[in-house]
Structure 1
Amino acid sequence: MNEILIDKTGQPDVITASDGSLTVTVPIRIKRRGSRKAVTLPDGGAVQPRPWDDTPTPIQLALARGHRWLAMVDKFAGSEFGRRSRPRRGEPQGRGEQSGEARTLSEVAERERMDRAYVSRMVNLTTLAPDIVAAILDETLPPEVTLFDLASGTPLLWEEQRAIIDR
């Protein structure tokens, strides 16, 4: 009979019973990460993902979305970030609608059927320090750092961003 018991001793152990069954004790810690629970090692380190598991994490997806959505606005507006109201000479009318580009983040949100505040928070991720972006992509970000920590009220100064990660 397969039975799972949780014992909080934290000591690894393998016991072989006389009937041939095994009892394996694996030290883990269950920690809250935002609204989810995550399994961590007893020393607080993250459980390493399998090398063949290339499924993007939610934070990686959010980072990619933020860059894509910002690029949609940048392509339309050039360096003016959404302030140009008329097409340039020789440009067809309605250029943004035809090419998938948008004048504002509100247009991006409408087109993507997302809440404008969500789109804005994901675009905030585009201002993260390069080493934080690398940690997101390498999945070496501390497990207690959540998407909410990075996307809401993100400071522009990279030192302040690193302080959020290091706390």
Structure 2
Amino acid sequence: MSEIRIQKTGTPDVIASSDGRLTLSVPIQIKRRSGRKLVTLPNGETAKARPWDASATPLQLALARGHRWLVMLESGEVKSLREIAAQEGVDSSYVSRMVNLTTLAPDIVAAILDDALPNHITLFDIAVDPPVLWKGQWERFKIVS
């Protein structure tokens, strides 16, 4: 059976028992940060890149909205983009532009999710009348694939 004891002081240590088990002793501190527990090591070090600490970019949010709204439309939950707009309290042209994002090439979607698109590309550039063919998208947005 595992046992976890939190000790705030001391040095890391490994203890071998006679039955072959090892006990690892690491002093840590657990702090609350924005409702999450954060483990801090004795030297004050914490995890550097935690995915849940990064907030989504406007482009990522727009992509997620577009996909959610397309699913609502395809599943029959709503009958039209106007109905989605009324539910969300936004303009129907905005809903249409966000749904356009669902037709983007997979590598462009990956670049949006990785926040790796070139800085000159804006949400407006991508969402308003994107080319249907992926090659046309790469040429219009000057992305080499």
Q: Kindly provide the CA deviation profile for residues 85-106 of structure 1, in whole angstroms up to 9, marking residues without a partner as x.
A: xxxxxxxxxxxxxxxx201111
SS at match of 2:119: coil
Shift >3 Å, 4+ stretches = 50-53
Shift of 1:51: 3.6
1:74 aligns with 2:50: no
Shift of 1:153: 1.1
Match of 1:161 in 2: 137
SS at match of 1:166: coil
Give the alignment's TM-score, normalised by structure 1.
Answer: 0.54
Indicate which of 121, 124, 128 corresponds to 1:152: 128
State the AA in 1 paired with 2:83: E
Q: How many residues align?
A: 94
Q: Kindly provide the CA deviation profile for residues 12-37 of structure 1, in whole angstroms up to 9, marking residues without a partner as x.
A: xxxxxxxxxxxxxxxxxxxxxxxxxx
Indicate which of 98, 110, 121 corresponds to 1:122: 98
Match of 2:82 in 1: 106
Q: Structure 1 stretches of 5 or more lacking a match?
A: 1-49, 77-100
Q: Structure 2 stretches of 5 or more lacking a match?
A: 1-47
Shift of 1:166: 1.1
State the AA in 1 paired with 2:88: E
Cα distance in 2 for residues equivalent to 1:126 and 1:51:
28
Give the alignment's TM-score, normalised by structure 2.
Answer: 0.62
Larger Rg: 2
The alignment-based identity, stated in percent, is 56
Q: Cα gap change, 1:72/1:129 in structure 2, threshold over 3 Å: closer, same or farther?
A: same
Shift of 1:164: 1.9
State the AA in 1 paired with 2:119: P
